[in-house]
Every structure is written in C-alpha cells, then in structure tokens.
C-alpha cells in the first residue's frame, strides 16, 4: 500500500511504526482500528463488524495518522510506538 506520495507504509500493530503524515481533505474519514484493512491505514470494511475510528476535519489539513496501532489518541499519532522502542533499547 502506498500513500499519496507513493511511499510505502504498513499497519503493523504493536511494532515500531511511523506516523503517516498526509494532507487530508475536509470531511469524514475512517481509520482502521483492527489492522485487517487492505487500504492501510484506512478502514475498508475487511473485518466485517469492526468499529473504525470515524473522524471529521472541518478544513483540509496535514495530519500525522497512527500507523502502528498503539496510539492512545486514534486516529492521530501520539508517539506511543517511539516511546515503546526507546524503552526497549534501554533494557
């Protein structure tokens, strides 16, 4: 899967990932919370019954979307995967 710039990204729950920094149009969007989507990180209904995180932008904006599934502020990246990776390196 590639973003608008053609760069690859993977929805790898629980692994050290990086946010998808992308400009989104104003309007409604659905972020996949289960990780089974084929349109990473956007919900495509693959899981049949999952509850995507729905969010709405009042205007077009560049946002950092979580790509690892660890965020506590879905769909936005909060740095959780980076904190986890830093903690693991200290051990």
Does the pTM exceed 0.75?
A: no
86's enclosing H/E stretch is helix 80-90
What tens digit of pLDDT does each residue of 45-65 get?
A: 888 877 899 999 999 999 999
Q: Where are the domains of the chain?
A: 20-82
Give the pLDDT of residue 7: 38
Supply the mean pLDDT for the chain.
77
Interior CA angle at 87 toward 81 and 89, to 5°?
105
Give the pLDDT of residue 41: 86
What tens digit of pLDDT does each residue of 15-32 get?
A: 445 788 899 999 999 998
| pLDDT band per the 50, 70, 90 thresholds, residue 1 | very low
Query: Among 89, 86, 90, 81, which Cα is nearest to 15's?
Result: 81
CA-CA distances (angstroms) from residue 56 to 2, 29, 32, 85? 22, 6, 14, 30
* Bond into 41 cis (ω within 30): yes
Give the pLDDT of residue 60: 96
83's enclosing H/E stretch is helix 80-90
Q: Mean of the pLDDT values across residues 2-9?
A: 39
């Amino acid at each position: 899967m590639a973003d608008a710039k053609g760069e690859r990204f993977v929805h790898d729950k629980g692994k050290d990932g990086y946010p998808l920094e992308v400009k989104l149009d104003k309007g409604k969007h659905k972020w996949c919370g289960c990780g089974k989507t084929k349109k990473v990180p956007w919900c495509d209904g693959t899981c049949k019954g999952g509850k995507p995180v729905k969010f709405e932008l009042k205007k077009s904006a560049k946002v950092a979307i979580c790509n690892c599934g660890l965020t506590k502020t879905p769909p936005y990246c909060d740095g959780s995967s980076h904190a986890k990776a830093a903690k693991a390196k200290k051990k």
